Structure formats: structure tokens, C-alpha cells
Amino acid sequence: MAKTKTKETTENVVEFINSFADTEQKRQDSFELLTLMQELTGFEPKMWGATIIGFGSYHYKYKSGHEGNAPFIGFSPRKKEISLYVFTGLDEHEHLLRNLGTFKKGKACIYIKKLADINQDELKKLMQETINYLKSKYEGK
């Protein structure tokens, strides 16, 4: 069985953003997302793996037997785009993306060029619905 690669670490989030975000815009957006996600969740930001900033955590276990921990929501200021881990990927949550703004969708995340491209009120709704879903499906801590 595959081991989970993305685990919570003790690395400093602010130092990570300052060293990893490759443009001033990405750095500013990262600090705005840090504040937004922390205020919404009430959780302190933590590094997950080498490049993901996550908030809160839950324990999952799949039918296959694979299990691990993951953040409720998070983001990473990657080179090409900012990856937002705020979406379940489920069809029943697609409606939450309608008024979000300009983004690309992955399987269970969204990619943005800059934070100004998306409606932050809609982003907050999306994040809250994702957290609510994960808490109802898995045991949050």
C-alpha cells in the first residue's frame, strides 16, 4: 500500500512563503490567503509536505484501506499558479464554482493566477462548504 507523502511538518509558514513565492504578487496573495483561511477556519497555518500550507486536519480512510491525515483546506504558491485546495471535486459541489471568477479546475483543487481574479465571498462559501463536507464525512480534529 502506498504511503502518504504529504504530512504535517514543523517548517515555518512565513519563511516558506518568503522563500518560495517567486513574485511579489504571489507573496502578497499568499499572505492574504493565510489571513483569509485562518480567519475562516480558526486554525493556525501549518506546512504539509514541502510546499502546501494547510489549515486544520482530518483523518481519512478509504475502502482500499489507505488512510492518513490531510488539511481541511490549504494552498500552495506554485511557480505557474496558486493551487487552492478548497474543493471536494464532487459533482454536487460544482455549483459553488459558478460565481467564483477566473480559475482552472483540477480533480479536487482550483488554480488561480492571482487572488484578484476570484470573488472572495464566493471563495469563503466554497471553503466553508468543503470543510463542512469533510467534517461530516471524516472525523475532524
| Distance from the Cα of residue 43 to its chain's centroid | 13
pLDDT at 3 over 70: no
* Residue 71 in domain: yes
The pLDDT assigned to 4 comes to 61
Report the CATH number at residue 132. 3.90.1150.200
Nearest to 11 by CA among 19, 1, 21, 22: 19
Judging by beta carbons within 10 Å of its beta carbon (0-12, 13-18, 19+), is residue 47 exposed, middle or buried? buried
> What pTM value is reported for the model?
0.92
Each residue's pLDDT tens digit, 81-104? 999 999 999 999 999 999 999 999
* Residue 6 in domain: no
Domain count, the chain: 1
* Residue 2 in domain: no
* Residue 23 in domain: yes
Please report the beta strands in 19-127, taking only residues with DSSP state E, as ranges in sequence order. 45-48, 52-55, 58-61, 67-70, 73-77, 82-85, 104-105, 110-112
* Residue 1 in domain: no
Sign, CA torsion 116/73/41/122: positive
* Residue 26 in domain: yes
pLDDT level of residue 64 (50, 70, 90 thresholds): confident
* Average of per-residue pLDDT values in the chain: 93
* Residue 84 in domain: yes
Containing structural domain, residue 96: 13-140
pLDDT at 35 over 70: yes
The pLDDT assigned to 5 comes to 67
The pLDDT assigned to 75 comes to 98
* Residue 3 in domain: no
